[in-house]
């Protein structure tokens, strides 16, 4: 089977197109990765190149040795992925040391995987472990309103979570474990990857101050839907804060507790503090 005929490749490309249409991927902004299932690898094996170049990952992900990922290329534009997938995305395999990857397909005119590969792979590493392998997607986008909020709200998990939950009733149901926040750091390396992956132990969403967000999920719909929900809440909050410095009314901690019972989700009490 051809790579581009596989359902996972279609889902990957569809997400790139959806994110681009939302305006979260100016120029080469953002990146995406998918941990390919063994049977999916099997079906596309005829197209995988045994002689592709090996590249250092920039960190060590021993537990992912041998795994295959579909990833966006560094410097490639999300808007171009649907037009020329083979030129803008790649399939890589992690080597046995967990420190290098080999390009097995794609980036046909040259190039390397996303500069955020350390963050993607360290997040996959955590999510694979804490979800018993069910999470397969890591998505990074430059969502406008979330970025705007990182100039205004204190960079604390408790505050971002509570403010986003208050912005739209469905939020605590969609991300009941909350969101993590990483202060401004240099992107593209192991250090920011480490800070991000630590928070992925607990959260499915991690915000990078003055940069964007990382979302994780079982599949493309879940990861994209999460980013969409978080960004929508951020937009509501930005509009609210633009109208008044203080909300006249909002959802109260007791309201969240009732919501938790009605929707059977656990909402950690650390987010339900009295203001
Ligand atoms: P890449 O083009 O290397 O994926 O980088 C884009 C980006 O958003 C960096 O954070
Ligand atoms: Zn970025």
CATH number at residue 63: 3.40.225.10
| pLDDT confidence of residue 2 | 98
Q: Is 116 a catalytic residue?
A: yes
Of the residues 115, 130, 160, which one is the last residue of a structural domain? 115
Q: How many domains does the chain have?
A: 2
Of the residues 93, 115, 137, which one is the last residue of a structural domain? 115
Among the options 42, 46, 47, 116, which is catalytic? 116
Tell me: do 81 and 158 sit in the same domain: no
Tell me: do 151 and 266 sit in the same domain: yes
Cα of 114 to ligand 1 centre, how many Å?
6
Residue 141 lies in a domain: no
Tell me: do 164 and 256 sit in the same domain: yes
Tell me: do 162 and 56 sit in the same domain: no
Tell me: do 24 and 98 sit in the same domain: yes
Q: Which atom of ligand 1 is nearest to the CA of 140?
A: 8
Strands (DSSP E) found in the chain: 31-35, 54-56, 68-72, 89-94, 100-106, 137-141, 179-182, 205-208, 212-217
Residue 124 lies in a domain: no
| pLDDT confidence of residue 217 | 98
| pLDDT confidence of residue 248 | 97
| pLDDT confidence of residue 150 | 99
Tell me: do 252 and 155 sit in the same domain: yes
- Dist. CA 108–CA 29, nearest whole Å: 20
Tell me: do 167 and 226 sit in the same domain: yes
Tell me: do 110 and 151 sit in the same domain: no
CA dihedral 204, 230, 35, 40 (to 10 degrees): 130
Three-class SS state of 65? coil
Residue 8 lies in a domain: yes
Residues within 6 Å of ligand 1 by CB: 28-31, 72, 74-75, 114-116, 187
Residue 272 lies in a domain: yes
| pLDDT confidence of residue 96 | 98
Question: Residue 113 gets which letter from DSSP?
Answer: B
Tell me: do 175 and 250 sit in the same domain: yes
Tell me: do 197 and 92 sit in the same domain: no
From 73, 90, 138, 188, the mutation candidate for ligand 1 (largest count of ligand atoms within 8 A of CB) is 188
Residue 122 lies in a domain: no
Tell me: do 106 and 158 sit in the same domain: no
- C-alpha pair distances (Å), 110 with each of 75, 80, 105, 218, 239: 11, 15, 11, 30, 43
- Dist. CA 219–CA 213, nearest whole Å: 17
Residue 130 lies in a domain: no
Residue 263 lies in a domain: yes
Give me the DSSP letters along 127-182: HHHHTTT---EEEEE--HHHHHHTTTS-S-HHHHHHHHHHH-TTHHHHSTT-EEEE
Residue 93 lies in a domain: yes
Of the residues 115, 137, 167, which one is the last residue of a structural domain? 115
Three-class SS state of 83? coil
Tell me: do 253 and 156 sit in the same domain: yes
Digits of tens for pLDDT over the chain (275 positions)? 999 999 999 999 999 999 999 999 999 999 999 999 999 999 999 999 999 999 999 999 999 999 999 999 999 999 999 999 999 999 999 999 999 999 999 999 999 999 999 999 999 999 999 999 999 999 999 999 999 999 999 999 999 999 999 999 999 999 999 999 999 999 999 999 999 999 999 999 999 999 999 999 999 999 999 999 999 999 999 999 999 989 999 999 999 999 999 999 999 999 999 99
Cα of 22 to ligand 1 centre, how many Å?
17
C-beta separation of 59 from 121 below 8 A? yes
pTM over 0.95: yes
CB atoms near residue 42 (< 10 Å): 10
Domain range for 63: 1-115
């Amino acid at each position: 089977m051809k790579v581009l005929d596989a359902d996972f490749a279609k889902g990957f490309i569809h997400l790139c197109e959806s994110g681009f249409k939302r305006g979260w991927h100016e120029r080469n902004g953002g990146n995406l990765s998918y941990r390919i299932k063994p049977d999916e690898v099997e079906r596309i094996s005829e197209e995988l190149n045994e002689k592709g170049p090996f590249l250092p990952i920039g960190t060590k992900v021993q537990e992912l040795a041998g795994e295959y990922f579909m990833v966006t290329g560094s410097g490639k534009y999300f808007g171009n992925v649907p037009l020329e997938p083979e030129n803008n995305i790649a399939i890589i395999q992690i080597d046995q040391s967990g420190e290098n990857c080999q390009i097995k397909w794609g980036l046909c005119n040259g190039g390397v995987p996303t500069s955020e590969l350390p963050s993607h792979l360290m997040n996959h590493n955590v999510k694979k472990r804490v979800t018993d392998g069910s999470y397969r997607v890591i998505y990074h986008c430059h969502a406008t309103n979330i970025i705007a909020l990182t100039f205004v709200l204190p960079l604390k998990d408790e505050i971002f979570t509570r403010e986003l939950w208050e912005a739209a009733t469905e939020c605590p149901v969609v991300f009941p474990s909350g969101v993590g926040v990483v202060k401004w750091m240099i992107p593209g390396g192991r250090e920011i990857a480490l800070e991000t992956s630590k928070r992925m132990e607990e959260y499915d969403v991690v915000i990078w101050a003055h940069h964007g967000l990382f979302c994780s999920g079982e599949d493309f719909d879940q990861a994209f839907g999460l980013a969409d929900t978080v960004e929508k809440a951020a937009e509501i909050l930005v509009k609210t804060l633009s109208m008044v410095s203080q909300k006249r009314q909002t959802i109260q901690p007791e309201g969240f507790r009732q919501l938790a019972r009605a929707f059977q989700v656990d909402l950690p009490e650390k987010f339900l503090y009295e203001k």
